[in-house]
Structure 1
Amino acid sequence: MRVLIVDDEPLARARLAALLGECADVEIAGSVSDGEAALVALGELHPDVLLLDINMPGISGTALAQRLAGRARPQVVFCTAYESHALQAFDLGAADYLLKPVRLERLNEALQRARQRLQQAPRETVNYLHGRLGGEQVRVALDDVICLLAEEKYVVVQHRGGQLLLEESLRQLEDAYPDQLIRLHRNCLVPSQRLIGLKTLPDGRVLARLGGTELTPEVSRRNLPTLRKLLRMG
């Protein structure tokens, strides 16, 4: 079982890593210091479990958990110094809630609970986009997509492995995946989990910050309120 540690305190990350080293059948997928880095790591490392702090700069642990609510993977185990967030944590579907300093016995219990949930969860459906590359028909998993850009007669899919051309329009794709794709501009869609922030330039233009890439597509004024609301809600 692959575990990603998310905590802004280096000592806390080190302690959790040491404890995980004593747990059977556990691999540390990675260790990051904030919610934005966690979003990037989720897309690249595909962990089974998050050991997640709550009070972090930027995207909080609860905001990150809101984005993941309803998914079978990764399971969330909160690790925090405060008891006050426990009710909210379980409302968000957390597998467990550990108080710092985390004890090995409790960590093992939490991981076992997360493992049972993963085993009992229905198999997740992988959505694929089908297009052309060099004259051949190929497909790419929607989870690997970075952004979709309308160019003349085609839609260009930027994904982790390169590019792909689609014949569907952005509107058709938006209608087909309303819960997974969000519009930044009339010529650009991105997977909602890729959006990690917004950057306002001195000239007033706003760029989207996307996890797992240095691409920063521009955001239209029309779509800006929706994106800001999405980020506030996590």
Structure 2
Amino acid sequence: MKVKVLIADDEPLAREIILSYLEDFSEVVSIVEVANGLEAVKKINQLSPDLVFLDIEMPKMDGISVLDSNALKNQPLVIFTTAYNQYAIKAFELNAIDYLMKPFDRDRFHKTMKKALDKLKMIELKDFQIELSRFRLDYENAILEKSSSEFPSKLVVKDSKRIKHIQVEDITMIRAAGDYVEINERDGKFLLYKTITEIQSKLNPNIFRRIHKSVIINSEKITEIRPHVNSEFYFHMLDGQIVKSGRTYKDQITDLTSGNI
């Protein structure tokens, strides 16, 4: 495991102590130092460090504000380092993994670093498992696509406990969820590591309709359609869900809403 560290502290001596203690950990491959909160936000966004040692009382922006900033593009693991104990509750509310009271010795620092490294190993393992699941699903779905004459009749999907083959005809709805989609099927909700546009291209467009930028429905599972405003409609699905179409998709669903399926 290779760990990138950022030290944010306005006191040079405090940064020097952390630097010397970090020499005991071979996992640490790079260290960047900053002396104020604004620089901390900038470097976190630029470098995506794995671990940040963050002082609380700093010029321009304090450590609490750094971690609570809307400007942060990603959230690293954070260890607060401070001479003040009144910030501890707020620090843990912001999911800091530890709170080092200055002055701290090498033994206390080692205990904190062990906690941080254990957490980073768990994150690394989880990321690996996600990539492994993604690879397996992509591989198995590719095999199913090759064996299909046009559109696959099955998909390989997963939930928190299992990987499962589902019949495409049993899908009620597909929702976009970042870089993957959530598939609603009669046995529950499952994930597939594809964008909604990618999965749309794999399905029969006569049956599966994109009614919103983030929703595809199975037109054979519609029980009722109710008009809304601005060419929008509420689609009542067989499983009880109700979803609204987007106005920019009115032309794609005209045959559904006019009853000319």
Between structure 1 and structure 2, the one with the greater Rg is 2
TM-score, structure 1 as length reference: 0.48
Higher relative contact order, chain-length normalized (CA < 8 Å, sep 6+): 1
> By percentage of residues, which structure has more helix?
2
